[in-house]
């Protein structure tokens, strides 16, 4: 995938959120200008982002919201649920097992894996926890190709190697380690530390300047009410 498309792909979930809110409110058509206003970008950015999904608008009318929702979900692969494993049922892993929003992204966590004998054989948020020795067998049996990696950093690469050997082809990496994987394996790192660092620096800069930063949007305001 061409790297220049990645910013557009990352914005598509935000379009989906706004489109579903509009659709739930009874609206049937939306313009690029309205989406741009809601997301704080230029209309030309919206048009180019939507263009990669193959969706077509109507001159002078805009986009049919129901069609656009379908096209974006189809492009992202979110309209067909895919099973996924979670590796590492610690504090973060446990929280993710309880996160119901994965269904909105077309993902269904069917099993968790951990090395802790006290967790193996139990269920967390109704999802069974298995030992790592069961991984290869269950990958083959359930035909799962994706995994969420939530293990300690010092175990990340070795665990990733085990996932790959078992047949996993896509890894969503919640560790701070940049994984080394074969060319046929895709991985995406969730950079929590990096995002928190940016948030902290923005807050520090705004406090020094006497202004405020909206911590939800990143938008800056002056120091007055």
Q: CA–CA distance from 203 to each of 154, 196, 211, 214, 215 (Å)?
A: 31, 10, 9, 9, 8
* Domain chopping of the chain, boundaries: 3-76, 82-190, 201-225
**pLDDT tens-digit series, residues 6-53:** 888 889 999 999 999 999 999 999 999 999 999 999 999 999 999 999
pLDDT greater at residue 221 or residue 208: 208
Place of tokens 């109704």: 126
CATH architecture assignment, domain 3-76: Orthogonal Bundle (1.10)
**pLDDT tens-digit series, residues 86-113:** 999 999 999 999 998 888 888 899 999 9
Place of tokens 């997301």: 39
pLDDT for the residue 164: 96
pLDDT for the residue 195: 77
For residue 142, pLDDT over 80 is answered with yes
Cα 201 from Cα 207, distance rounded (Å): 10
**pLDDT tens-digit series, residues 193-213:** 777 778 888 888 888 877 554
* Fold equal for 3-76 and 82-190: no
pLDDT for the residue 212: 53
Place of tokens 């006290």: 118
Cα 29 from Cα 143, distance rounded (Å): 40
82-190 CATH: 3.40.50.720
For residue 223, pLDDT over 60 is answered with no
Residues 6+ apart with CB under 8 A from 219: 40, 213
Model confidence band, residue 185 (pLDDT cutoffs 50, 70, 90):
very high
Full-prediction pTM beyond 0.85? no
For residue 225, pLDDT over 70 is answered with no
For residue 2, pLDDT over 70 is answered with no
């Amino acid at each position: 995938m061409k790297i220049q498309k990645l910013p557009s792909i990352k914005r598509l979930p935000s379009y989906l959120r706004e489109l579903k809110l509009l659709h739930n409110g009874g609206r049937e058509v939306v313009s690029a200008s309205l989406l741009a206003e809601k997301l704080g970008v230029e209309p030309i950015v919206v048009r180019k982002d939507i263009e990669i999904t193959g969706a077509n608008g109507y001159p002078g009318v805009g986009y049919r919201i129901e069609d656009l929702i379908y096209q974006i979900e189809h492009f992202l692969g979110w309209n067909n649920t895919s099973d996924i494993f979670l590796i590492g049922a610690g504090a973060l892993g446990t929280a993710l097992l309880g996160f119901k929003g994965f269904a909105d992204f077309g993902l269904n966590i069917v099993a968790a894996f951990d090395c802790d004998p006290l967790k193996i054989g139990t269920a967390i948020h109704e999802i069974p926890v298995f030992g790592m020795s069961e991984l290869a067998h269950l990958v083959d049996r359930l035909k799962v190709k994706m995994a969420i990696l939530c293990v300690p950093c010092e175990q990340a690469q070795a665990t990733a190697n085990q996932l790959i050997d078992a047949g996993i082809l896509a890894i969503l990496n919640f560790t701070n380690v940049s994984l080394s994987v074969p060319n046929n394996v895709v991985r995406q790192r969730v950079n929590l530390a990096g995002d928190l660092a940016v948030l902290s620096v923005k807050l520090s800069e705004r406090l020094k300047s006497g202004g405020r930063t909206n911590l939800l949007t990143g938008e800056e305001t002056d120091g007055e009410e």
